[in-house]
Structure 1
Amino acid sequence: MTPRELVGIAEVPGGPPLRLFRRGADFMIVLDRNELMSTRMSGSEVALGTMTCERLAGHPNPRLLIGGYGMGFTLRAVLERLGPDARVVVAELVPGIIEWARGPMAAVTDGCLDDPRVVLDIGDVADSIRQASAEFDAIMLDVDNGPDGLTRPANDGIYAAQGLAAAMRALKPGGTLAIWSAAPDPVFARRLSKSGFAVDEVRVRARGNGKGATHIIWFARRP
């Protein structure tokens, strides 16, 4: 078996560090012993982008917010499907993740951060949401493994009632809040509905070939 090589360590504000490993041509981002994401299992992150874009019909020149760059699979999926007048804001809390994207993972990133439609915001997506008012046609959150977080306690606020209310205000009427999760969470799904969203829960596979673990994406539409 090809050995796993430690490529870098990235500090997380208010949380434990992340580690980037490489095994052959594959990359993995790991927290302690938990593999948060890898280039081998990108199917659900791609689905987050593609299925959100499918819900943007009727939104001319859409403006989107992606919370959490990760390995960029959601961003690249969105850019492939949006026209030249779209604008995508990417909020990434961990500067080291962007350094990895521009450094050892540059071949995977494929220049997506340099696309003229992309605005990179090094900061907390919660701040981007709170500061917006009817600004976004879609907000995509792939933060901290979903509502049941691992990396940073402060991320819980994004998924609390107050955070969902802020997301509602940040969306344009008819806009979509799309949330990725590693596992089902019936309590959170009910919270979404109680916050006034029309909710569609979709199960997707971790791998692009339809195999691997089942992940969850909630598509919550502002009326």
Structure 2
Amino acid sequence: MAIPYDIPDAPEVLDRREGPYGEVVLRRHGELLQIIANGCFLMDTSDGRSERLLVDAARDALDDRPAPALLIGGLGVGFSLAHAAADPRWGAVTVVERERAVIDWHLNGPLAAVSGPALADPRTKIVEADLLDFVNETCATFDAVCLDIDNGPDWTVTEGNDSLYSVSGLSGCARVLRPGGALAVWSARPSPEFEGTLGNAGFQRVRTEEIPVARGVPDVVHLAVRPG
């Protein structure tokens, strides 16, 4: 998710929309597609390694239960969904995305190149909703939850997202997890304080895995398991 370097020319704005949470923009910069929210760079199509590792870390934290169900918070550029759908071990993949524009970019826009096969997979379901509202209201349960909504617990896109990483927000995530289920949270930088919050929310086996990047501080995945 790091901002690419040495790409010629200025970015081309492909779509710009004002949504319920502010402005979202889809840009093309060279061969890359980029998502910008309220002027904050979120992600692009340069790599996808972080998203793949996020999904794999959640799967590997589970026991050998058959056909686990995965909930992904945030559709983004679609790397997490595409990687999950390419893995036959997942029994179902639900993605919750609150921005209609992002969903449209995948269904009918340039990002279909990333997510098209995954969206056609019968195991895939897209839900247009705020994740916190979804986990507090749904009757569904999952074996793993992956959060890739912000740049991390300490670097949110909108102020309202802070509550997702609080004890109450994480308790909502725990509510939809089946016993022994795994929570994986992507972050652009480590957050020791967030590890403590995960423990206070009742999670066990809390740990942080680093994801090396070309420059700067490593990305990380915060991992935790709901008690069995």
1:51 aligns with 2:57: yes
Structure number with higher relative contact order (C-alpha < 8 Å, ≥ 6 residues apart): 1
> Which residue number in structure 1 is paired with residue 18 of structure 2?
11
1:216 aligned onto 2:215: no
Residues 62-119 of structure 1: per-residue CA shift (max 9 Å, x gap): 1111110001111111112234x71111100001001111212221223312211011
CA distance in 2, matches of 1:55, 1:150: 25
Which letter does structure 1 place at the counterpart of 2:96? A
Distance in structure 2 (CA, Å) of the matches to 1:80 and 1:63 = 14
SS in 1 for 2:41: strand
Of the structure 1 ranges 104-113 and 73-82, higher mean CA displacement relative to structure 2 is found in 104-113
1:119 to 2:164 alignment = no
Question: 132, 138, 146: which one pairs with 2:152?
Answer: 146
How many percent identity over aligned positions? 35
Give the TM-score normalised by the residue count of structure 2.
Answer: 0.87
What SS class does the counterpart of residue 101 from structure 2 fall into?
Answer: helix
SS at match of 1:111: helix
Query: Which residue pairs with 1:179 in the alignment?
Result: 185
C-alpha separation in 2, matches of 1:66 and 1:26 = 23
* 8 Å Cα contact 2:57/2:184 also seen in 1: no
Write the distance in 2 (CA, Å) between the matches of 1:118 and 1:172: 19
Quick one: which amino acid aligns to residue 126 of structure 1?
A: L
Match of 1:203 in 2: 210
Q: Aligned partners of 1:25 and 1:140: how far apart in 2?
A: 27
Residue 78, structure 1, aligned to residue 90, structure 2: no
Of 78, 91, 95, the match for 2:96: 91
More displaced stretch, 91-100 vs 154-163: 154-163
**Cα RMSD (Å):** 1.9
Give the counterpart of 2:45 among 22, 39, 47.
39
CA distance in 2 between partners of 1:168 and 1:17 (Å): 30
Whether the 8 Å contact between 1:10 and 1:94 is mirrored in structure 2 is no
Give the structure-1-normalised TM-score: 0.89
Give deviations 1:110-131, integer Å, cap 9, x for gaps: 3312211011100111122113
SS at match of 2:161: helix
Gaps of 5+ in 2: 1-7
Q: Which residue of 1 aligns with 2:5?
A: none
How many residues align structurally? 217
